[in-house]
Structure 1
Amino acid sequence: MTVVRTRDPGRTRAEILDVATREFSEQGFAGARVDEIAASTRTTKRMIYYYFGSKEGLYVAVLENAYSRIRDLEQELDVDHLEPVDALRRLAELTFDHHEAHPEFIRLVSIENIHRAQFLRRTNVAGLTSNRLQVLETILARGRAQGLFRADVSALDVHQAISAQCVFRTANRHTFDALFGRDTLDPSRREHDRRLLGDMVVALLTVR
Protein backbone atom coordinates (compact mmCIF):
# COMPACT_ATOMS: atom_id res chain seq x y z
CA MET A 1 0.00 0.00 0.00
CA THR A 2 1.42 3.39 -1.01
CA VAL A 3 1.28 6.14 1.58
CA VAL A 4 0.63 9.52 0.03
CA ARG A 5 2.16 12.32 2.04
CA THR A 6 0.41 15.63 1.78
CA ARG A 7 2.13 18.92 2.47
CA ASP A 8 0.82 20.94 5.40
CA PRO A 9 0.74 24.53 4.04
CA GLY A 10 0.59 26.10 7.48
CA ARG A 11 3.53 24.11 8.79
CA THR A 12 5.56 24.71 5.64
CA ARG A 13 4.92 28.45 5.77
CA ALA A 14 5.87 28.60 9.45
CA GLU A 15 9.08 26.68 8.80
CA ILE A 16 10.03 29.03 5.97
CA LEU A 17 9.36 32.06 8.17
CA ASP A 18 11.51 30.70 11.00
CA VAL A 19 14.48 30.08 8.71
CA ALA A 20 13.96 33.34 6.82
CA THR A 21 13.87 35.27 10.10
CA ARG A 22 17.35 33.97 10.94
CA GLU A 23 18.66 34.67 7.44
CA PHE A 24 17.30 38.23 7.21
CA SER A 25 18.28 39.13 10.79
CA GLU A 26 21.85 37.94 10.22
CA GLN A 27 22.41 39.07 6.63
CA GLY A 28 20.00 41.97 6.19
CA PHE A 29 17.58 42.30 3.30
CA ALA A 30 20.23 42.79 0.61
CA GLY A 31 22.54 40.07 1.90
CA ALA A 32 19.91 37.40 2.54
CA ARG A 33 19.61 34.67 -0.09
CA VAL A 34 16.38 32.84 -0.87
CA ASP A 35 18.50 29.90 -2.07
CA GLU A 36 19.99 29.61 1.42
CA ILE A 37 16.55 29.72 2.99
CA ALA A 38 15.28 27.00 0.67
CA ALA A 39 18.32 24.83 1.36
CA SER A 40 17.65 25.01 5.11
CA THR A 41 13.98 24.04 4.81
CA ARG A 42 12.10 21.08 3.44
CA THR A 43 11.01 23.05 0.41
CA THR A 44 12.30 24.76 -2.72
CA LYS A 45 12.94 28.29 -3.91
CA ARG A 46 9.99 27.90 -6.26
CA MET A 47 7.74 26.92 -3.35
CA ILE A 48 8.91 29.92 -1.31
CA TYR A 49 7.92 32.22 -4.16
CA TYR A 50 4.60 30.37 -4.40
CA TYR A 51 3.85 31.21 -0.75
CA PHE A 52 5.31 34.70 -0.59
CA GLY A 53 5.53 35.98 -4.17
CA SER A 54 9.07 37.36 -3.99
CA LYS A 55 12.05 37.94 -1.72
CA GLU A 56 10.49 41.25 -0.72
CA GLY A 57 7.18 39.54 0.04
CA LEU A 58 9.00 37.03 2.23
CA TYR A 59 10.81 39.79 4.11
CA VAL A 60 7.57 41.69 4.71
CA ALA A 61 5.99 38.47 6.04
CA VAL A 62 8.99 37.98 8.36
CA LEU A 63 8.51 41.48 9.77
CA GLU A 64 4.78 40.93 10.29
CA ASN A 65 5.42 37.61 12.00
CA ALA A 66 8.13 39.03 14.27
CA TYR A 67 5.98 41.91 15.45
CA SER A 68 2.84 39.81 15.82
CA ARG A 69 4.57 37.46 18.26
CA ILE A 70 5.09 40.11 20.93
CA ARG A 71 1.73 41.72 20.25
CA ASP A 72 0.06 38.31 20.78
CA LEU A 73 1.88 37.97 24.11
CA GLU A 74 0.67 41.41 25.15
CA GLN A 75 -2.91 40.53 24.26
CA GLU A 76 -2.68 37.36 26.35
CA LEU A 77 -1.33 39.26 29.35
CA ASP A 78 -4.00 39.53 32.04
CA VAL A 79 -3.36 42.70 34.03
CA ASP A 80 -6.93 43.74 34.77
CA HIS A 81 -6.75 42.18 38.25
CA LEU A 82 -3.50 43.98 39.10
CA GLU A 83 -3.09 47.41 40.63
CA PRO A 84 -1.98 49.99 38.02
CA VAL A 85 1.66 50.12 39.20
CA ASP A 86 1.94 46.32 39.23
CA ALA A 87 0.24 46.08 35.83
CA LEU A 88 2.67 48.60 34.38
CA ARG A 89 5.64 46.70 35.76
CA ARG A 90 4.30 43.43 34.38
CA LEU A 91 3.94 44.87 30.88
CA ALA A 92 7.47 46.31 31.03
CA GLU A 93 8.82 42.94 32.20
CA LEU A 94 7.07 41.13 29.36
CA THR A 95 8.80 43.41 26.84
CA PHE A 96 12.12 42.96 28.65
CA ASP A 97 11.81 39.16 28.57
CA HIS A 98 10.70 39.01 24.95
CA HIS A 99 13.43 41.26 23.59
CA GLU A 100 16.13 39.43 25.52
CA ALA A 101 14.88 36.04 24.30
CA HIS A 102 14.55 37.18 20.67
CA PRO A 103 17.67 39.09 19.59
CA GLU A 104 16.71 38.38 15.99
CA PHE A 105 13.72 40.69 16.48
CA ILE A 106 16.01 43.52 17.59
CA ARG A 107 18.30 42.96 14.60
CA LEU A 108 15.31 43.09 12.25
CA VAL A 109 14.19 46.37 13.82
CA SER A 110 17.71 47.78 13.38
CA ILE A 111 17.85 46.63 9.77
CA GLU A 112 14.46 48.14 9.02
CA ASN A 113 15.59 51.46 10.47
CA ILE A 114 18.52 51.41 8.06
CA HIS A 115 15.91 51.07 5.31
CA ARG A 116 13.91 53.96 6.87
CA ALA A 117 11.01 51.56 7.53
CA GLN A 118 10.60 51.13 3.77
CA PHE A 119 9.27 47.60 4.11
CA LEU A 120 7.58 47.96 7.50
CA ARG A 121 5.26 50.58 6.00
CA ARG A 122 3.91 47.87 3.68
CA THR A 123 2.81 45.67 6.56
CA ASN A 124 -0.19 45.70 8.90
CA VAL A 125 2.05 46.06 11.96
CA ALA A 126 0.77 49.57 12.76
CA GLY A 127 -2.64 48.07 13.46
CA LEU A 128 -1.12 45.49 15.79
CA THR A 129 0.77 48.18 17.67
CA SER A 130 -2.43 50.08 18.38
CA ASN A 131 -3.50 47.12 20.54
CA ARG A 132 -0.39 47.59 22.68
CA LEU A 133 -1.26 51.23 23.20
CA GLN A 134 -4.82 50.33 24.16
CA VAL A 135 -3.55 48.00 26.89
CA LEU A 136 -1.24 50.73 28.17
CA GLU A 137 -3.94 53.41 28.01
CA THR A 138 -6.27 51.25 30.09
CA ILE A 139 -3.57 50.85 32.76
CA LEU A 140 -2.79 54.56 32.72
CA ALA A 141 -6.46 55.54 32.96
CA ARG A 142 -6.89 53.40 36.06
CA GLY A 143 -3.75 54.89 37.59
CA ARG A 144 -4.86 58.44 36.90
CA ALA A 145 -8.29 57.74 38.37
CA GLN A 146 -6.56 56.67 41.59
CA GLY A 147 -4.36 59.76 41.60
CA LEU A 148 -1.22 57.70 41.01
CA PHE A 149 -0.14 58.71 37.50
CA ARG A 150 0.54 62.01 35.80
CA ALA A 151 -1.92 63.07 33.12
CA ASP A 152 0.70 64.56 30.80
CA VAL A 153 2.44 61.27 29.96
CA SER A 154 0.75 59.35 27.15
CA ALA A 155 0.62 55.64 26.42
CA LEU A 156 2.95 56.25 23.48
CA ASP A 157 5.42 58.02 25.79
CA VAL A 158 5.47 54.96 28.05
CA HIS A 159 5.80 52.57 25.14
CA GLN A 160 8.75 54.56 23.83
CA ALA A 161 10.47 54.55 27.23
CA ILE A 162 10.06 50.78 27.66
CA SER A 163 11.17 50.03 24.11
CA ALA A 164 14.19 52.32 24.37
CA GLN A 165 15.59 50.45 27.34
CA CYS A 166 14.74 46.95 26.13
CA VAL A 167 16.02 47.44 22.58
CA PHE A 168 19.20 49.15 23.81
CA ARG A 169 20.29 46.12 25.84
CA THR A 170 20.53 43.93 22.76
CA ALA A 171 21.12 46.38 19.92
CA ASN A 172 24.06 48.10 21.63
CA ARG A 173 25.46 45.20 23.60
CA HIS A 174 28.83 44.96 21.90
CA THR A 175 29.56 48.65 21.43
CA PHE A 176 28.56 49.41 25.04
CA ASP A 177 30.83 46.63 26.28
CA ALA A 178 33.73 47.90 24.14
CA LEU A 179 33.32 51.45 25.46
CA PHE A 180 32.39 50.86 29.10
CA GLY A 181 33.28 47.27 29.84
CA ARG A 182 29.70 46.29 30.68
CA ASP A 183 27.91 43.45 28.92
CA THR A 184 24.31 44.63 28.93
CA LEU A 185 23.12 41.00 28.66
CA ASP A 186 25.31 39.72 31.50
CA PRO A 187 23.06 37.15 33.30
CA SER A 188 24.31 38.35 36.67
CA ARG A 189 22.77 41.77 35.98
CA ARG A 190 19.49 40.51 34.57
CA GLU A 191 17.21 40.78 37.60
CA HIS A 192 18.71 44.14 38.57
CA ASP A 193 18.10 45.55 35.07
CA ARG A 194 14.62 44.04 34.89
CA ARG A 195 13.64 45.63 38.19
CA LEU A 196 15.30 48.91 37.23
CA LEU A 197 13.18 49.09 34.08
CA GLY A 198 10.02 48.89 36.15
CA ASP A 199 11.36 51.50 38.58
CA MET A 200 12.14 53.88 35.71
CA VAL A 201 8.71 53.58 34.12
CA VAL A 202 6.89 53.98 37.44
CA ALA A 203 9.07 57.01 38.27
CA LEU A 204 8.22 58.54 34.90
CA LEU A 205 4.51 58.33 35.67
CA THR A 206 4.43 59.03 39.39
CA VAL A 207 2.62 62.20 40.38
CA ARG A 208 5.06 64.71 41.86
Structure 2
Amino acid sequence: MNETVHSRRRSTRAAPVEKAVSRTNDPERTMANIMEVAMAEFAEKGLAGARIDEIAAATRTSKRMIYYYFGSKEGLYLAVLEESYRRMREIEGQQHLQDLEPEAALRRLVEFTYDHHHSHENYIRLVMSENMNRGQFLEQSKSIQQLNVPAISSIRQLYDRGVAAGVFRPGLDPIDIHASISALSFFNVSNRHTFGLIFKRDMTSPKALAERRATVTEMIVRFVRA
Protein backbone atom coordinates (compact mmCIF):
# COMPACT_ATOMS: atom_id res chain seq x y z
CA MET A 1 0.00 0.00 0.00
CA ASN A 2 2.85 2.38 0.86
CA GLU A 3 4.47 1.66 -2.52
CA THR A 4 1.22 2.58 -4.28
CA VAL A 5 0.95 5.87 -2.39
CA HIS A 6 4.56 6.77 -3.14
CA SER A 7 4.07 5.90 -6.81
CA ARG A 8 1.06 8.21 -7.03
CA ARG A 9 2.96 11.02 -5.37
CA ARG A 10 5.81 10.64 -7.82
CA SER A 11 3.45 10.75 -10.82
CA THR A 12 1.68 13.90 -9.64
CA ARG A 13 4.98 15.68 -9.23
CA ALA A 14 6.30 14.63 -12.65
CA ALA A 15 3.54 16.17 -14.80
CA PRO A 16 4.29 19.88 -14.13
CA VAL A 17 8.02 19.32 -14.58
CA GLU A 18 7.47 17.65 -17.95
CA LYS A 19 5.25 20.51 -19.10
CA ALA A 20 7.79 23.10 -18.05
CA VAL A 21 10.64 21.27 -19.79
CA SER A 22 8.71 20.97 -23.04
CA ARG A 23 8.04 24.69 -23.02
CA THR A 24 11.54 25.91 -22.13
CA ASN A 25 13.34 23.40 -24.36
CA ASP A 26 11.71 24.79 -27.50
CA PRO A 27 13.06 28.34 -27.74
CA GLU A 28 12.61 28.53 -31.52
CA ARG A 29 8.90 27.83 -31.23
CA THR A 30 8.58 30.31 -28.38
CA MET A 31 10.40 33.02 -30.32
CA ALA A 32 8.35 32.35 -33.45
CA ASN A 33 5.14 32.64 -31.46
CA ILE A 34 6.29 35.91 -29.91
CA MET A 35 7.21 37.24 -33.35
CA GLU A 36 3.81 36.44 -34.86
CA VAL A 37 1.91 38.16 -32.07
CA ALA A 38 4.36 41.08 -32.03
CA MET A 39 3.93 41.61 -35.78
CA ALA A 40 0.20 42.11 -35.36
CA GLU A 41 0.69 44.29 -32.28
CA PHE A 42 3.28 46.59 -33.85
CA ALA A 43 1.41 46.74 -37.17
CA GLU A 44 -1.80 47.77 -35.43
CA LYS A 45 -0.40 50.18 -32.84
CA GLY A 46 3.09 51.13 -33.95
CA LEU A 47 6.15 51.05 -31.73
CA ALA A 48 4.87 53.67 -29.29
CA GLY A 49 1.42 52.14 -28.85
CA ALA A 50 2.38 48.47 -28.67
CA ARG A 51 2.57 46.90 -25.23
CA ILE A 52 4.96 44.13 -24.22
CA ASP A 53 2.50 43.13 -21.48
CA GLU A 54 -0.14 42.35 -24.12
CA ILE A 55 2.32 40.41 -26.28
CA ALA A 56 3.39 38.40 -23.24
CA ALA A 57 -0.20 37.64 -22.27
CA ALA A 58 -1.16 36.59 -25.80
CA THR A 59 1.84 34.27 -26.09
CA ARG A 60 1.55 32.92 -22.52
CA THR A 61 5.11 33.96 -21.81
CA SER A 62 6.49 36.75 -19.63
CA LYS A 63 8.06 40.15 -20.22
CA ARG A 64 11.25 38.70 -18.78
CA MET A 65 11.22 35.93 -21.39
CA ILE A 66 10.65 38.39 -24.23
CA TYR A 67 13.49 40.60 -23.03
CA TYR A 68 15.70 37.52 -22.68
CA TYR A 69 15.19 36.68 -26.37
CA PHE A 70 15.03 40.18 -27.88
CA GLY A 71 16.72 42.47 -25.37
CA SER A 72 14.08 45.19 -25.28
CA LYS A 73 10.83 46.37 -26.81
CA GLU A 74 12.84 48.14 -29.49
CA GLY A 75 14.85 44.97 -30.10
CA LEU A 76 11.66 43.00 -30.67
CA TYR A 77 10.33 45.71 -32.98
CA LEU A 78 13.52 45.61 -35.07
CA ALA A 79 13.39 41.81 -35.21
CA VAL A 80 9.80 42.04 -36.47
CA LEU A 81 10.81 44.52 -39.19
CA GLU A 82 13.69 42.32 -40.33
CA GLU A 83 11.50 39.22 -40.39
CA SER A 84 8.83 41.01 -42.43
CA TYR A 85 11.36 41.98 -45.08
CA ARG A 86 12.95 38.53 -44.99
CA ARG A 87 9.62 36.82 -45.67
CA MET A 88 8.86 39.21 -48.51
CA ARG A 89 12.21 38.57 -50.18
CA GLU A 90 12.00 34.82 -49.61
CA ILE A 91 8.68 34.56 -51.43
CA GLU A 92 9.89 36.95 -54.10
CA GLY A 93 12.87 34.69 -54.73
CA GLN A 94 10.53 31.78 -55.48
CA GLN A 95 9.09 33.42 -58.60
CA HIS A 96 11.72 31.86 -60.94
CA LEU A 97 11.97 35.03 -63.02
CA GLN A 98 15.08 33.73 -64.76
CA ASP A 99 12.97 31.00 -66.39
CA LEU A 100 10.74 33.52 -68.19
CA GLU A 101 11.22 35.87 -71.12
CA PRO A 102 12.12 39.39 -69.89
CA GLU A 103 8.70 41.01 -70.32
CA ALA A 104 6.88 38.00 -68.88
CA ALA A 105 9.30 38.03 -65.93
CA LEU A 106 8.67 41.73 -65.33
CA ARG A 107 4.92 41.18 -65.43
CA ARG A 108 5.18 38.34 -62.94
CA LEU A 109 7.30 40.47 -60.59
CA VAL A 110 4.82 43.35 -60.65
CA GLU A 111 1.83 41.07 -60.17
CA PHE A 112 3.57 39.24 -57.33
CA THR A 113 4.41 42.52 -55.56
CA TYR A 114 0.85 43.79 -55.97
CA ASP A 115 -0.64 40.54 -54.68
CA HIS A 116 1.80 40.26 -51.79
CA HIS A 117 1.10 43.77 -50.55
CA HIS A 118 -2.65 43.28 -50.86
CA SER A 119 -2.58 40.08 -48.81
CA HIS A 120 -0.02 41.26 -46.22
CA GLU A 121 -1.47 44.44 -44.78
CA ASN A 122 0.63 44.06 -41.63
CA TYR A 123 3.78 44.33 -43.74
CA ILE A 124 2.54 47.61 -45.20
CA ARG A 125 1.57 48.98 -41.81
CA LEU A 126 4.97 48.05 -40.33
CA VAL A 127 6.79 49.82 -43.16
CA MET A 128 4.54 52.85 -42.71
CA SER A 129 5.24 52.82 -38.97
CA GLU A 130 9.00 52.72 -39.49
CA ASN A 131 8.76 55.58 -41.97
CA MET A 132 6.94 57.55 -39.27
CA ASN A 133 10.04 56.80 -37.15
CA ARG A 134 12.15 58.09 -40.06
CA GLY A 135 13.83 54.71 -40.34
CA GLN A 136 15.80 55.17 -37.13
CA PHE A 137 15.33 51.58 -35.95
CA LEU A 138 15.83 49.89 -39.32
CA GLU A 139 19.03 51.91 -39.62
CA GLN A 140 20.37 49.87 -36.70
CA SER A 141 19.81 46.57 -38.51
CA LYS A 142 22.90 44.58 -39.42
CA SER A 143 21.05 42.48 -42.01
CA ILE A 144 18.52 44.72 -43.78
CA GLN A 145 20.91 45.75 -46.56
CA GLN A 146 21.85 42.17 -47.35
CA LEU A 147 18.23 41.05 -47.18
CA ASN A 148 17.32 43.40 -50.02
CA VAL A 149 20.29 42.78 -52.29
CA PRO A 150 18.56 39.85 -54.10
CA ALA A 151 15.57 42.05 -54.99
CA ILE A 152 17.70 44.54 -56.91
CA SER A 153 19.94 41.83 -58.38
CA SER A 154 16.88 40.03 -59.73
CA ILE A 155 15.52 43.19 -61.38
CA ARG A 156 18.95 44.07 -62.78
CA GLN A 157 19.32 40.62 -64.34
CA LEU A 158 15.89 40.56 -65.98
CA TYR A 159 16.30 44.17 -67.12
CA ASP A 160 19.72 43.47 -68.66
CA ARG A 161 18.28 40.44 -70.45
CA GLY A 162 15.48 42.61 -71.79
CA VAL A 163 17.88 45.29 -73.01
CA ALA A 164 20.07 42.67 -74.68
CA ALA A 165 16.98 41.21 -76.38
CA GLY A 166 15.87 44.64 -77.55
CA VAL A 167 12.56 44.57 -75.65
CA PHE A 168 13.55 47.03 -72.87
CA ARG A 169 14.96 50.49 -73.43
CA PRO A 170 18.45 51.11 -72.11
CA GLY A 171 19.49 53.66 -69.50
CA LEU A 172 17.12 52.77 -66.66
CA ASP A 173 18.15 52.24 -63.05
CA PRO A 174 17.06 48.90 -61.52
CA ILE A 175 16.58 50.58 -58.13
CA ASP A 176 14.28 53.14 -59.76
CA ILE A 177 12.28 50.32 -61.39
CA HIS A 178 12.03 48.64 -58.00
CA ALA A 179 10.88 51.91 -56.40
CA SER A 180 8.18 52.38 -59.05
CA ILE A 181 6.85 48.84 -58.61
CA SER A 182 6.83 49.24 -54.83
CA ALA A 183 5.18 52.65 -54.89
CA LEU A 184 2.32 51.63 -57.18
CA SER A 185 1.68 48.41 -55.24
CA PHE A 186 2.08 50.00 -51.80
CA PHE A 187 -0.38 52.83 -52.39
CA ASN A 188 -3.26 50.47 -53.03
CA VAL A 189 -3.00 49.19 -49.47
CA SER A 190 -1.69 52.18 -47.53
CA ASN A 191 -4.21 54.67 -48.99
CA ARG A 192 -7.17 52.53 -49.92
CA HIS A 193 -9.38 53.71 -47.06
CA THR A 194 -8.85 57.46 -47.57
CA PHE A 195 -8.84 57.17 -51.38
CA GLY A 196 -12.00 55.09 -51.36
CA LEU A 197 -13.80 57.51 -49.05
CA ILE A 198 -12.79 60.62 -50.99
CA PHE A 199 -13.68 59.26 -54.42
CA LYS A 200 -16.57 57.02 -53.31
CA ARG A 201 -14.98 53.91 -54.75
CA ASP A 202 -14.66 50.48 -53.19
CA MET A 203 -10.96 49.80 -53.52
CA THR A 204 -11.30 46.31 -52.01
CA SER A 205 -13.83 44.77 -54.39
CA PRO A 206 -12.52 41.90 -56.57
CA LYS A 207 -13.28 43.95 -59.70
CA ALA A 208 -11.41 47.03 -58.46
CA LEU A 209 -8.44 44.95 -57.32
CA ALA A 210 -8.17 43.09 -60.63
CA GLU A 211 -8.45 46.28 -62.67
CA ARG A 212 -5.90 48.13 -60.59
CA ARG A 213 -3.53 45.15 -60.73
CA ALA A 214 -3.72 45.12 -64.52
CA THR A 215 -3.21 48.90 -64.68
CA VAL A 216 -0.17 48.88 -62.42
CA THR A 217 1.41 46.03 -64.36
CA GLU A 218 0.81 47.71 -67.71
CA MET A 219 2.21 51.03 -66.46
CA ILE A 220 5.49 49.42 -65.39
CA VAL A 221 5.85 47.33 -68.55
CA ARG A 222 5.19 50.31 -70.84
CA PHE A 223 7.67 52.42 -68.87
CA VAL A 224 10.43 49.85 -69.37
CA ARG A 225 9.52 48.62 -72.85
CA ALA A 226 11.70 49.74 -75.79
TM-score normalised by length of structure 1:
0.95
1-side partners of 2:63 and 2:42: how far apart?
16
From the two aligned structures, give the one with the greater helix fraction: 2
Alignment-derived partner of residue 42 in structure 1: 60
Q: Structure 1 residue 184: deviation in Å?
A: 2.5
**1:109 pairs with 2:130:** no
- Which of 146, 158, 171 is the matching residue for 2:165? 146
- In the alignment, the residues of structure 1 paired with residue 99 and residue 152 of structure 2 have an alpha-carbon distance, to the nearest angstrom, of 18
The corresponding residue for 1:93 is 111
Does structure 1 residue 20 correspond to structure 2 residue 44? no
Inter-partner Cα distance in structure 2 for 1:119 and 1:181: 37
| Unmatched 5+ stretches in structure 2 | 1-10
Task: Write the deviation string for residues 68-87 of structure 1: whole angstroms up to 9, x where unpaired.
Answer: 11100112221222110000
Q: What number of residue pairs does the alignment pair up?
A: 207
Query: Partners of 1:69 and 1:57 in 2: how far apart?
Result: 18
3-state SS of paired residue (2:98):
coil
Return the alpha-carbon distance in structure 1 between the equivalents of residues 174 and 204 of structure 2: 27
SS of the residue corresponding to residue 84 of structure 2 reads helix
Q: Following the alignment from structure 2 to structure 1, what is the Cα–Cα distance between the partners of residues 105 and 60?
A: 43
Match of 1:177 among 175, 183, 196: 196
Aligned match of 1:52: 70
CA distance in 1, matches of 2:127, 2:204: 18
Q: In 1, Cα distance between the equivalents of 2:140 and 2:93?
A: 23
Correspondence 1:121 to 2:139: yes
> 2:6 — aligned with what?
none
Q: Aligned partner of 2:172: which letter?
A: V
Task: Report Cα offsets for 1:159-178 as digits up to 9, x if no partner.
Answer: 11111111101110111012
Deviating 4+ runs (over 4 angstroms): none
Aligned AA (2:198) = L
**Equivalent in the alignment of 1:80:** 98
Counterpart CA distance in 2 for 1:44 and 1:169 is: 37
What percentage of aligned pairs have identical amino acids?
47
One-letter code of the match for 1:164? A
Normalised to the residue count of structure 2, the TM-score between the two structures is 0.88
SS in structure 1 of the partner of residue 100 of structure 2: coil
Structure 1 residue runs of 5 or longer lacking an equivalent are none
Structure 1 range deviating more: 122-131 or 140-149: 122-131
Compute the displacement of 1:157 (Å): 1.2
